[in-house]
Structure formats: structure tokens, C-alpha cells
Structure 1
Amino acid sequence: MQLPSQQVAVLEAASADEATSVDALAAATDLPPETVTGAVFELEDEGLVAVSERVDETVTLTDEGVEYAGDALPEVRLYEAALAAGADEESTQMGQVIGTSGLEGPQVDIALSNYARKGYGTIDSGEITADPDADPAADAEADALAALADAGETPVDAVDIDSDTVDQLERRGLVDRHESTVRDVTLTERAVTELMAGIETSETVGEVTPELLTSGEWEDVEFADYNVEADAERFDGGKVHILRQTAERVKDTLVGMGFQEMDGPHVDADFWINDCLFMPQDHPARTHWDRFALENPTHIDDLPPDLVDRVERAHKEGVGPDGEGYHSPWDEDFARALALRGHTTSLSTRYLSGEEVGDLEPPQRYFSVEKVYRNDTLDPTHLLEFFQIEGWVMAEDLSVRDLMGTFEEFYSQFGIEDIQFKPHYNPYTEPSFELFGTHPTTGELVEIGNSGIFREEMLEPLGVECDVMAWGLALERLLMLMYGFEDIRDIHGTLCDLELLRETEVTY
């Protein structure tokens, strides 16, 4: 009997008494595992080997998991710092506790998002408490990290860790879980008989080369069979993130509705972010608890002096014969303070004032789909940074009916037909209302945006003499309605579910 050399090598390395894995055969024959797998399938077709399959699942710590195994989980470090600050007796300033914990960058977000989930305490309005009865030594995730740090890559069923804990660690990116198909090979009686009789090695060619073609030798050689069932290494190619894909779709939709795109700085003066919106300087949203100020540089150099005067007058005295203003202090130095924009309405004020593209004559339509930054408490619908769909229309005699109709037209492009409206208060719009959509999985109403007609106190200092209707919509909330996501941390951020992103089908 004649067989290709790789098949002969596999037969000679295999056993009739006990099963041998493909990896073991590859090591014994010095052949690549994929070559051995192909040979095994061919031998199975010839009735020379029996093949059995099983799925092995292993887990191993990621680099981040190794770090936390040796350094403690961020939420445990936050809890220990909270105890040291006396938060088990009364609520303490969260910023103070974070500062003493030594947590930095993404670790702060991770600690905050897991602190209450594990029952270590509460976080509310910038205050933190610590439950004195909480026991970090009984933290299942911390124990699992310690066990895996000692074991290295190991089968899941070889460690005493429950599946829910492994799932949570995988979602947090602290462990990698691998599933692999293991094939075990056993010689058949026929193979034993043929080996005893003697098997000769035949010369086969595995690929067609230019030399074979030009020399004509391809006509005389024996080609190896090509096995389309042989294992191949999996490669997960890169793809555009689903959030970016939806952002581009939103842009296409708004351009199709006649809008032009705005652009502008992520870091801007409080003047453009809030003062031009007729937002009083003592408004709670303008404190350090809600905004991210810059340490260096701290202030903008140039602001239009005439516009600054008009905005200051609107804040202090109001606009028009019946205007009241806020009768509260207004500080130009505060207006010059730099911060990460809390909404992209800062772009709208720049464009409406004529600073970006010159004076605009109605009708005009502008939009942006850009990131904004807020010091919010992390939860399934809030992140510290997210995408806002900003838009406004400048025209004569606009009404709330025009605004509602715009939303109905926009959301219908995404298959969302059940928008609901609720009256609301904004310092810069009157009338104002919030938008809600029904979550396709939970059936709950989800707030998806805020809108209204810009007030005269905002428009008059900017030099706008007609109506402007405007809105700020949440891109991530749109994804929740489109795809049924219940937690926006699954689609971006430190807890992002990569497998979910790979498998979610983009709909157009």
C-alpha cells in the first residue's frame, strides 16, 4: 500500500490501544497541526483511523486581569479608600476618596461602575458611602483572578470558579476564554494490518508551482487531495464600529433632509458652551460636579468683545421691554474658562453668531454628530462621554409642530414610529420638550433627546432676528431603540462586548 509521506508519518505515530490528539501527533511527527489534520481526515476516508471530537474550553488572564490579581480590583481599592475616609459612618466627597485611592484614568470609571453593583456602598450626586458589612475578601471575582493567576491557561472545569463569575470577568475584559475542537485519533484494525504488511511512501505534490507548469512535469506527478474540511486558523478582521456606522447613517439622513454639517472644538470657553445659551453662571450644571474643566490652559484668549457685552447685558437685564434677566453676578473671567463641551450646542452658538461661517440668512439647516463630555454617574444609559446629534433650523414663523414633524421624519428613517413628547424646561428654549421612544426588548420608555425653540434672550445677542428650532439627541439611545441594547456600556467604553459588536448585524 502506498500513501503520502504525511499520512505514513501519522499512522506510525498513532496507536490502536489509546487515542492520540492531533496536537500530540503533530509534535511526534514534526508536522504542522493543520497538515496532520488534513492527513487524519484522508486516513479516516480510507478506513485507516477512527476520529473522535470534543470541545475544550480554557481561560487565561488578560494583562489587565494579571494587574488586578496582584494589585486588587479597582472597586476594592475604592472601597478601602472610602473606609479610610470614614464613608462607612457618613457620606464623603467622591473626589476626595478617588484621590486617596490612587486610581487613575479608566480605572476610576471601572471602580465607579462596579462599586454599587457589588454592594460596597452607594454613589450619588458626588457623594460616596461605604457599607461596613461588605467583605472584599469574599469578592468572587477577586478570588477567581487569584486562582487563575496561579493556574495560568487552564481548562474551565479544572478550577473552582462558577460560570457566572467567569462570564462577568470576560465581559470586563479580565479573562480570555478559548474554545477549541480537539480531535483524537485511533488506528483501526485495517491500519494495523497494513502497517504489519508494510506501507510505502508515495511522492505527491501539494501545490502547483510555475516550475511544474513551464516544465510540463505537472502531467506526470501525483497531486495530494485537497481537504476542504480541514481546520483553518480563525482571523477576526477589523470593521467599522457599529456606533460609527450609525453616526454615518445619521449624517447621510440629515444631509438628505437638507442639512449642512457643523464642526468645532471639543474644548471650548464656557462662554460658547453656556453663556451664549442664556444659562446663568450659578446654574448647577456649570459646577465642577457636572463639567470637566481644563487645568492647562485654563482660559481662552479671544472672545468677540461686542458679543460678550450683549450676552452679559442679556444675563443681567434681559432682552426686550419685558425682559428680566437673572439679576445675578456675571463674570467674564468665568465665561472665558475652558472646559470639555457638555453639549454640541456650543457649535450652534458659534455658527448662529456668525463666528464660524459669517452671518447666516434664513432659511438655514445645520447639524453635527460629535462627542460631548459630562461628569455623570455611570449606569446603563449614561457615560462620561457620548455622541450627541445636534441640529437646528433657522426660518421665519417656526412652531412646535414643525419641530415635532422633523423628529417624526428623522426617526422614521430608522424604523422608529412611536416617538412621544413631554413638556420640559430649558434655560435657552421656550417652549421645550423631551423625546421618548419605546425600547424594543423591555417595552420601557427611553429618553432619547431634548429640544425646543431658542429663546429671544439667546438669539438677540447672537444677532438672529428669526425663529430657530433646535435639538440635542443621543446617538447611543438611538442604537438602543434600533438594536435592543439595554446597556450602552456594551457598545463602547471599558466594558465593551467585542463579541456582541462582531455579531450584531448592521441594518439599513
Structure 2
Amino acid sequence: MELPQRELSVLEAASADEPTPIAELASATGQKPETVTGAAFDLEERGLVTVTEDTVADVELTEEGERYRHMGLPEVRLYLAAREAGADEAPVSMGAVLGDADLEGPEVDIALSNYARKGYGEIASGDLSADPDADPESDPEAAALDRVAADDTVDDDVRETLERRDLVVVHERTVRSVTLTDDGVDALMAGVEATEAVGQLTPEMLASGEWEDVEFADYNVEADAETPSSGKTHVLRATAERVKDVLVGMGFEEMEGPHADSEFWINDALFMPQDHPARTHWDQFALSEPSEVDDLPADLLERVESAHREGVGDDGDGYHSPWTEEMARGVDLRGHTTSLSMRYLSGHQVGDLEPPQRYFSVEKVYRNDTLDATHLLEFFQIEGWVMAEDLSVRDLMGTFTEFYSQFGIEDVRFKPHYNPYTEPSFELFGTHPRTGEVIEIGNSGLFRPEVLEPLGVECDVMAWGLALERLLMLTHGFEDIRDVHGTLADIDFLRDTEVVY
């Protein structure tokens, strides 16, 4: 039998008694690990070796874990201080013991939460007792920190506990090993010679002309090969770009503006009362630096405040609720991109606009929501508005019908809804292509006079905020937003999904 030299050297270095890791074969043959791996797979195709794969977990101490290895775990330090204070004889004040244990910041909570769990003692009514029979020197977690530092193995349960406490990180890697088969042993015993065939054409062969005289190895077109995973446009980004193309094709221009903005542009200019539940920290992300803005237009600020307090027009009526300039100047991450609409409609962003006008944006917004299949803390909103004379709900519905038809969605449904800033208002719904469930995909309406008059707009404006991720659910059929971005993203879905332009 004849084999290429790289395969022959691997065959001779492998063992039939136990698997030999690729790294050891590379060291024994003097070849690169990737060369040995390729040779091993070729030998496996010939039935001369078997290649096995094992997942190995490499455990490494975090900075906190390294600190506790030298200083001691917080609960161990608390126990030793408690014993020193006599808590093994009678309960002592917890406050005094915490000071003697040299615990700082979060270490106090860590020590208290693990103290009773490990049987070091009890905590009740501000007093702390210590079990005289406890043995902190045999603490399995403390011992495991030393073993990790020495690259020794650690019990799986203890390792998982250290992971939960962020004291270690685990890096998994795949280790391939090679074992001779019976056919491989028989081949070696019968004698195997190195073939002179060349497996790869090199630049040196071309330059010297040597390629004309060498024998090239046969190319196995049936051999298995790994599927390359090349970079591609994320399906969410591709959908966003397609949305932009559709809206530009419908005559819209794109808006842009800050992600962190004043409460004035985000909510006040939109006629959202300052005591509205959605304006609390439970729904918004407030910034502490900077905590407020100074460059709000004074005349517009005054008109918006008047609309909140007194309403607009002869029949207008304000909210009769607290309104302060201090709150209006506060800085938040925008909860909707309608803050951009307010900036443009007021003339603050690009100067005064004369009707008709059409603007849109496809940008991120941020909300303090509970994470689930249809809600994230940050997501993309498709914002849009049209400024023109004599607009109606039929104009708005027709715009949506045209927009969604570009994505093959023909069954958009509308339901009347209340918004503080639009009247009339309605929500949009679509049918999920897999589950048949009706899901909300957007909100819309015609801006109220209390929004438009302070901005100086004297004609109608219809506006909407649509969810890009919900559109993606309707066009691609996935059921969980977290399938496309975040730590739970479905990598195979992202790799295999066709990008449509």
C-alpha cells in the first residue's frame, strides 16, 4: 500500500491501544495540527483509523475568584471573625462581626447568603451564631479555587457552583483523537510506503517548472468537507434596509437624531402627561450623566407647557396634572422614535417644513420591558408620518395596505385604540404564518391639535410606529424575537435564512 507521506507519518505515530490526541500526533510527526487533522480524516476515509471528538472544559479563575483564593471566601472570613468574637458560644451582633471580617460592598451579601447554606452557623434578628464543629479549611469551593489555579480537575457540581458565583469561567473546546483500526494495524504489518504523489500545487513548483514532472494525488470529490460559514448581512438588518427601500420608493425621506434625548422631545412635545405611568423608571431608562439638557427652544417649551396645562383652542382642556420644566429637561434613552418626528415637525431639526411632507426612520428604541417571545429591552421601530391637507383614516389605512403588500402581507387588520397624542388612533395586527395567531404589529393615528399647534403645524399629520421584529415574524415565520438577536439567537436560522433585497 502507498500513502502520502503526511498520512503515513500519522498512521505510524497512532496507537491501536488508546486514542492519541491530534496535538500529540503533531508533536510526534513534526507537522502542523491542521495538517495532521486533514491526514487523519483521509485515513479514516480509507478505514485505517477512527477519529473521535471529545469536549474538554478548561476552567479559569475570574478576577473575583483569584481575589477570594488569596483572601478567602467571604463566608469563610465571616465565620472566622464570628469564632473570634465568640459566636461559637453565644450569638453576637452581626454588625460588629461584619466589620471584623473585612468585607466590602457586595461581599457582605455574598457572605450572608452562603453562611447558613454551608452550615457555618445561623443568622437571626441581627445576631449571628457560629457552629463550633464547622471546618472552613475543608470548604470544597475554597479548595476548588486552588485546584483551578493549579490546572487540576474539579468536581462538576462544585464547578457549577463556582460558575454561578462568577468565580470561574469555563471555555469548552473540542479535542480530536486518532486510534488505529484493525485494518490500519494490518496495513502497517504488511508494509506501507510513502507515495511520491504531490497533494498540493505550490507557487514554488510553478516558478521552478517542477510541476511538469511530479505525480499529483487523485482528488476525492466524494470526501466530506465542512460547510464554510462566511459572513452575511443579518436578517434583521437586511429587513431594515428593505423597509427603507420600500418607504423611499413610496416618496419618504429618512430622519435621524439622538438615541438619548430630553424628556421634552420624547414625551412632552408628544402631549404625554408627566404623570403618565409609561414615564416612570419602570418603563424608561434615565441617564445620570448628563442628567438634563440646556438647549431646549424656549418659545416651544412655553407652548408645550401651555398645551399640557390648559389645552389648545377654544374647546381645549389640559391635563390639570403636575408639569415641571425640570422633568422636561431630563435625559432618557428614547422609548420611541417619535422624538425624531417632534424634532422635524417643529422645524428644530431641518428648518420649517411646508406640506406635503413624508418622513420615516428605522431606528432602535429602548424600553424597560419584561423579556419574552415578543418583547426586548431594545428593538427597532419603523417610524413614519405624512404632513398634508385634509388627511383621513382612509389615507392612513391605504398607506399601510401599500406598505405591507410589498412584503407579501395582505391581511393587515385594524382596531380602534386610545393614544394620548393621536385621535383617531388604531392598532395594526397581522396573522402569524405558522401558528395562525393574530399578533400586534404597530400603532398609528392622526396627531391631535395639542401636539401640532405648539409645533406650529397648521395641517393634518398622520403618523405610526411599527415593530420591525414583528414584521420579520410575519415574513419569516419565527415565533420568538430572541431567535434573531441576543444570547439565545438561533445561529443556524441566521446562517441559512435567505436575504431578500
Tell me the TM-score normalised to structure 1 length: 0.70
The one-letter amino acid of 1:365's match is R
Which residue of structure 2 lines up, in the alignment, with residue 411 of structure 1? 404
Q: State the 1:257 CA deviation.
A: 0.8
Q: State the 1:8 CA deviation.
A: 3.6
Distance in 1 separating the partners of 2:493 and 2:31: 36
Q: State the 1:232 CA deviation.
A: 6.0
The one-letter amino acid of 1:421's match is F
The one-letter amino acid of 1:394's match is M
Specify which of 282, 290, 293 is matched with residue 289 of structure 1. 282
Specify which of 450, 453, 459 is matched with residue 446 of structure 2. 453
Which residue of structure 1 lines up, in the alignment, with residue 417 of structure 2? 424
Q: State the 1:447 CA deviation.
A: 1.0
Residue-by-residue CA offset, 1:127-156 (whole Å, 9 max, x unaligned): xxxxxxxxxxxxxxxx9xx9xx98xx9xxx
| 8 A Cα contact 1:22 1:37, kept in partner | no
The one-letter amino acid of 1:194's match is A
| 8 A Cα contact 2:380 2:469, kept in partner | yes
For structure 1, the residue ranges without an aligned partner over 5 or more in a row are 72-99, 103-142
| 8 A Cα contact 1:38 1:230, kept in partner | no
Q: Residues 26 and 61 (structure 1 numbering): CA distance in 2 closer, same or farther, change over 3 Å?
A: closer
Which residue of structure 1 lines up, in the alignment, with residue 493 of structure 2? 500
Q: State the 1:347 CA deviation.
A: 0.6
Which residue of structure 2 lines up, in the alignment, with residue 118 of structure 1? none
Higher deviation after alignment, 377-386 or 455-464: 377-386
Specify which of 330, 333, 350 is matched with residue 340 of structure 1. 333
Q: Residues 2 and 422 (structure 1 numbering): CA distance in 2 closer, same or farther, change over 3 Å?
A: closer
1:370 aligns with 2:363: yes
The one-letter amino acid of 1:463's match is G
Q: Residues 204 and 398 (structure 1 numbering): CA distance in 2 closer, same or farther, change over 3 Å?
A: same
Give the 3-state SS of the residue equivalent to 2:261 in structure 1.
Answer: strand
| 8 A Cα contact 1:59 1:175, kept in partner | no
Q: State the 1:51 CA deviation.
A: 4.9
Q: Residues 417 and 62 (structure 1 numbering): CA distance in 2 closer, same or farther, change over 3 Å?
A: farther
**Structure-to-structure mapping, 1:86-165, within 5 angstroms:** none
Distance in 2 separating the partners of 1:62 and 1:258: 57
| 8 A Cα contact 2:17 2:179, kept in partner | no
The one-letter amino acid of 1:262's match is M
Which residue of structure 2 lines up, in the alignment, with residue 487 of structure 1? 480
1:186 aligns with 2:181: yes
Which residue of structure 1 lines up, in the alignment, with residue 381 of structure 2? 388
Distance in 2 separating the partners of 1:234 and 1:63: 31
Distance in 1 separating the partners of 2:257 and 2:355: 21
Q: State the 1:267 CA deviation.
A: 1.4
Specify which of 55, 59, 63 is matched with residue 58 of structure 1. 55
Q: Residues 61 and 487 (structure 1 numbering): CA distance in 2 closer, same or farther, change over 3 Å?
A: farther
How many residues matched? 417
Q: State the 1:6 CA deviation.
A: 3.0
The one-letter amino acid of 1:58's match is T
Residue-by-residue CA offset, 1:18-65 (whole Å, 9 max, x unaligned): 6866837556534345545655676688x7x545566x4636479899
Q: Residues 397 and 35 (structure 1 numbering): CA distance in 2 closer, same or farther, change over 3 Å?
A: same
Which residue of structure 2 lines up, in the alignment, with residue 400 of structure 1? 393
The one-letter amino acid of 1:186's match is T
1:252 aligns with 2:245: yes
Give the 3-state SS of the residue equivalent to 1:368 in structure 2.
Answer: strand
Give the 3-state SS of the residue equivalent to 2:181 in structure 1.
Answer: strand
**Structure-to-structure mapping, 1:294-313, within 5 angstroms:** 294-313=287-306
The one-letter amino acid of 2:488's match is L
1:12 aligns with 2:12: yes
Distance in 1 separating the partners of 2:58 and 2:247: 45
Q: State the 1:203 CA deviation.
A: 3.9
Which residue of structure 1 lines up, in the alignment, with residue 267 of structure 2? 274
Give the 3-state SS of the residue equivalent to 1:486 in structure 2.
Answer: coil
Which residue of structure 2 lines up, in the alignment, with residue 440 of structure 1? 433
Q: Residues 246 and 193 (structure 1 numbering): CA distance in 2 closer, same or farther, change over 3 Å?
A: same
| 8 A Cα contact 2:19 2:177, kept in partner | no
Higher deviation after alignment, 232-241 or 366-375: 232-241
Give the 3-state SS of the residue equivalent to 1:222 in structure 2.
Answer: coil
Distance in 1 separating the partners of 2:106 and 2:475: 39
Residue-by-residue CA offset, 1:73-122 (whole Å, 9 max, x unaligned): xxxxxxxxxxxxxxxxxxxxxxxxxxx989xxxxxxxxxxxxxxxxxxxx
Distance in 2 separating the partners of 1:452 and 1:475: 18
Distance in 2 separating the partners of 1:2 and 1:314: 91
Q: State the 1:404 CA deviation.
A: 0.8
| 8 A Cα contact 1:318 1:325, kept in partner | yes
Residue-by-residue CA offset, 1:169-208 (whole Å, 9 max, x unaligned): 9xxxx9777778876542538625632xxx5545444433
Identity of aligned residues (%): 68
Which residue of structure 1 lines up, in the alignment, with residue 79 of structure 2? none
| 8 A Cα contact 1:61 1:176, kept in partner | yes
Give the 3-state SS of the residue equivalent to 2:304 in structure 1.
Answer: helix
Which residue of structure 2 lines up, in the alignment, with residue 128 of structure 1? none
Q: State the 1:498 CA deviation.
A: 3.2
Q: State the 1:396 CA deviation.
A: 1.0
The one-letter amino acid of 2:253's match is Q
Distance in 2 separating the partners of 1:474 and 1:384: 13
Distance in 2 separating the partners of 1:364 and 1:219: 71
Higher deviation after alignment, 215-224 or 367-376: 215-224
Which residue of structure 1 lines up, in the alignment, with residue 29 of structure 2? 29
Q: Residues 217 and 101 (structure 1 numbering): CA distance in 2 closer, same or farther, change over 3 Å?
A: closer
Q: Residues 53 and 463 (structure 1 numbering): CA distance in 2 closer, same or farther, change over 3 Å?
A: same
Distance in 2 separating the partners of 1:203 and 1:406: 71
| 8 A Cα contact 1:41 1:230, kept in partner | no
Q: Residues 322 and 182 (structure 1 numbering): CA distance in 2 closer, same or farther, change over 3 Å?
A: same
Distance in 1 separating the partners of 2:217 and 2:336: 64
For structure 2, the residue ranges without an aligned partner over 5 or more in a row are 69-104, 108-140
Distance in 2 separating the partners of 1:376 and 1:326: 26
Q: Residues 232 and 178 (structure 1 numbering): CA distance in 2 closer, same or farther, change over 3 Å?
A: farther
Give the 3-state SS of the residue equivalent to 2:478 in structure 1.
Answer: coil
Residue-by-residue CA offset, 1:249-305 (whole Å, 9 max, x unaligned): 111111111100001111111111111111122222222222222212222112222
The one-letter amino acid of 2:326's match is D
| 8 A Cα contact 2:11 2:180, kept in partner | no
Q: Residues 187 and 288 (structure 1 numbering): CA distance in 2 closer, same or farther, change over 3 Å?
A: closer
Q: State the 1:389 CA deviation.
A: 0.7
Tell me the TM-score normalised to structure 2 length: 0.71
Distance in 2 separating the partners of 1:249 and 1:175: 40
- RMSD of equivalent CA atoms: 3.9
The one-letter amino acid of 1:29's match is T
Residue-by-residue CA offset, 1:426-453 (whole Å, 9 max, x unaligned): 1110000111111222222111111000
Distance in 1 separating the partners of 2:38 and 2:327: 72
Q: State the 1:496 CA deviation.
A: 3.1
| 8 A Cα contact 2:429 2:438, kept in partner | yes
